[in-house]
Each structure stands twice: as C-alpha cells, then as structure tokens.
A and B are shown apart, each in its own frame.
Chain A
Amino acid sequence: SQTIHQWPATLVQPVGSPLSLECTVEGTSNPNLYWYRQAAGRGLQLLFYSVGIGQISSEVPQNLSASRPQDRQFILSSKKLLLSDSGFYLCAWSDSLTEAFFGQGTRLTVV
C-alpha cells in the first residue's frame, strides 16, 4: 500500500534562516506531488505541484521554492524565512485517477 511521510512534525525557526521540509511517498511510482499551506487552521492554499522529476509548477509567487530531485521526493525550501511564512504545511500525492492523500503536516513557526 502507499504511504506518505512528511517531516519534521514541528519546527521553530528564526526570521532570516533557511528552510527545508521533506516529503516522500512509498508504494507508487510517478505520483503527482503537492505542497499546500494552511493558515490559522482553515483553508488550504496550493503552493506547488509536480508531475515528474524536476517539473515544478508554482501557484503563488512567494518566498518559497520546491524541488523534486527523485520520483517520490518533494522538498519545500526557503533561503530566508519571513514571519509570514508561519503556518501548517501539508504534502500530498495523487495519481491521475484518485483522490489526494496527505501527510501529517509540519507546523512551522517563524520567530
């Protein structure tokens, strides 16, 4: 069966520091991968999605970037964090026909 792993679960980082969040999927190949951000426990904002290695689509211009160095690995990064980058970050995967499956999320607090 397929599983998705996202880490770390919580992270406290100072303003101006770099960020790297990692997400990996097991049990499937060539998945679509997504990064969402959820502010204040409500709606989800799609940040990036990827349909293959090295293919990244950005939905919202911002202080973040994403990379997909391997088929089942998706990384969210920032060179310098802002206070406004705080939030709950969710990774998800899907194939061409199914629903999206989510990781357990990373709570990022920028101080």
Chain B
Amino acid sequence: AQSVAQPEDQVNVAEGNPLTVKCTYSVSGNPYLFWYVQYPNRGLQFLLKYITGDNLVKGSYGFEAEFNKSQTSFHLKKPSALVSDSALYFCAVRDRYNFNKFYFGSGTKLNVKP
C-alpha cells in the first residue's frame, strides 16, 4: 500500500530561521510525491512535487524539498521562515499502480512566531 507519514503534529519556528517539515513515505517502486499548504477554511494549494530527476525540488513561495531514497523521506524546507508561512502543510503520494488515487499525510501545523 502507498502511504506517507508526517511525524510532527506541529512545528514552531521563529521568523527568519530555517524551517523543516518532515515527511516519510512507503511506496512500491519510485514515488510521485507532493507538498501542499492549507490556510484556514481554504482548499489545499500545491507547493511542489517530485517525479524524477534532481533530489532537490524547488517550489512556490521559496519552499524546497529534498527527496532521499535511502531514508524514504521528502522533507519540506525553507531557508528563512515568514510569519505568513504559518499554515497547515500536507505531504502526499500518488499511487503509481492506481494513478487515480492520492494519499495524504495527517498534516503538520507550522507556527512561525515574530
């Protein structure tokens, strides 16, 4: 079965500091991995994806993620956090055997304090 796990319910970071939101995956074969952000009472916004190629993927709003096959991880990172980055973040995997399904992690709430 395809799945992703987000081990942290909440991450707190000071504005200007680097941030990391963790995600690990369990898939058969090579994964299609995604990160999304959700602001209160809104839909999910796509940030970035890994399909193939470079392990470091750059996305929207200065976010990037590093695909690590040996550790089965796809952590979301940003060099300098903004207060406006405070939101709920989801990692997701697309089922390569059933391209119709996306599986989402439980979400990590990021709090960036001034």
Contacts and interface: CB of A to CB of B under 8 A. Distances in A.
Interface of A: 6, 32, 34, 36, 41-44, 46, 49, 51, 57, 88, 90, 92, 94, 96, 99-105, 107
A44 B103 CA distance: 8
Interface residues of A: mostly helix, strand, loop or mixed?
A: strand
Contacts of A100: 34, 44, 46, 92, 102
Interface of B: 34, 36, 40-46, 49, 88, 90, 92, 94, 99-107
Contacts, number: 53
Interface residues of B: mostly helix, strand, loop or mixed?
A: strand
Contacts of A43: 104-107
A59 to B, nearest CB: 8
Given A43-B107, A44-B90, A57-B100, A99 B34 contact: yes
